[in-house]
Copies of this chain bind each other. A is one copy, B any other.
Amino acid sequence: MRNVTSETITKAFLDYCSDDTDPRLMFIIERLANHLHDFVRETNLTHEEWQKGLELLMAAGNISTPERNEFILFSDVLGLSSLVDMVNSAENGTPSSVLGPFHILGAPDVPVGADLKGGNEGTTVVVGGRVTTSQGAPIEGAELEIWQTADNGLYSNQDEAQPEYNLRAHMTTAADGRYLFSTVRPAPYTVPDDGPVGELLNSTGRHPWRPSHLHFIVTAPGHRSLVTEVFPSDDPYLDEDPVFGVREQLVMDYQKREDPSDLPDDLEAKAELKSPFYVVDFDFVLADASTS
């Protein structure tokens, strides 16, 4: 089409795409083109503003490394990562939440009741519950990947002072679907704000502090895999998570306790728990693999 105008360009774009294009890809591209074109038309975007957007993308490319993906961070702070989680979340299971960039493979296998805290500084928390089906039946052999920050707000792969797999574990539930571990209370931390994402946050008056959280991936055969986070109910940043990961069902009380005697006997650290400590009860509900 040689007479492309601001009104006809979207149709011209779609007409240029082959009829043989994969239908799902074509649908995605059709929606993307319509939204991006409408964005430019509605804002009458200037050349300077367009240039600024391209500079942010180029800066994101330049600051990204194998350890830091600024494009994912843009997706996170724009709410896109969480929105993808939400539209793919099973309705009859525990809500999913952002994976984040700090998960690594190879965390050590530990038994139910293991202590992850070891020599870490900070408040002791005992975290436990059950993995169940959406009908409430316990799932034996469900696998949990667990990771979190140390008391300084850093993950082990951000902090050379921590052992390689510090505060990371892989645990398999027993016949009653139970999981249990003692650990240190995770700390709030900032998303990286020294790049173009930080510029976006600054220019809109947003802060980079994520509420503290425990990360989990929970999987079991025949069930949808769950990637989620669990937040303490007293965290000051719960209502303004810059990456939109908080869901009401993922907010848990850290219950203060002084007497460890009623804790399960398979809690490895039970005898050495210093008072006070905190207890978190959280059950994971996995939707059937067949459900949407």
Contacts and interface: CB of A to CB of B under 8 A. Distances in A.
A125 to B, nearest CB: 20
A57 B80 contact: no
A9 B43 contact: no
A205 B14 CA distance: 11
A71 B47 contact: no
Contact of A57 (B13, B33, B71): B71
A78 to B, nearest CB: 6
Contact of A37 (B42, B64, B79, B248): B79
Contact of A4 (B35, B37, B246): B246
Nearest to A87: B44
A79 B13 contact: yes
Interface string A49-69: 110001001101110100001
A45 B80 CA distance: 10
Nearest to A207: B16
Given A50-B80, A60-B61, A31 B43 contact: yes
A176 interface: no
A40 B87 contact: yes
Contact of A12 (B13, B17, B244): B244
Interface SS of chain A: helix
Contacts of A5: 86
B61 A43 contact: no
Interface in A236-283: 238-240, 242, 244, 246-248, 251
Given A27-B43, A57-B71, A79-B9, A18 B50 contact: no
B87 A17 contact: no
A137 interface: no
Contacts of A9: 79, 82-83, 86, 244
A9 to B, nearest CB: 5
B36 A80 contact: yes
Contact of A46 (B69, B88, B248): B88
Given A3-B247, A5-B86, A17-B205, 6 more contacts: A2-B246, A32-B39, A32-B78, A54-B72, A58-B71, A61-B71
Interface of A: 1-6, 9-10, 12-13, 16-22, 25-29, 31-33, 35-47, 49-50, 54, 57-58, 60-62, 64, 69, 71-72, 75, 78-88, 203-206, 238-240, 242, 244, 246-248, 251
A-B pairs, top 9 by smallest CB distance, nearest first, are: A61-B61, A18-B205, A35-B35, A17-B204, A6-B86, A3-B248, A57-B71, A2-B246, A40-B83
23 contacts: A2-B238, A3-B248, A4-B82, A9-B86, A12-B244, A16-B240, A17-B206, A19-B205, A27-B43, A29-B204, A31-B39, A37-B83, A41-B83, A45-B84, A45-B87, A47-B88, A50-B80, A54-B75, A57-B71, A58-B61, A61-B61, A61-B64, A61-B71
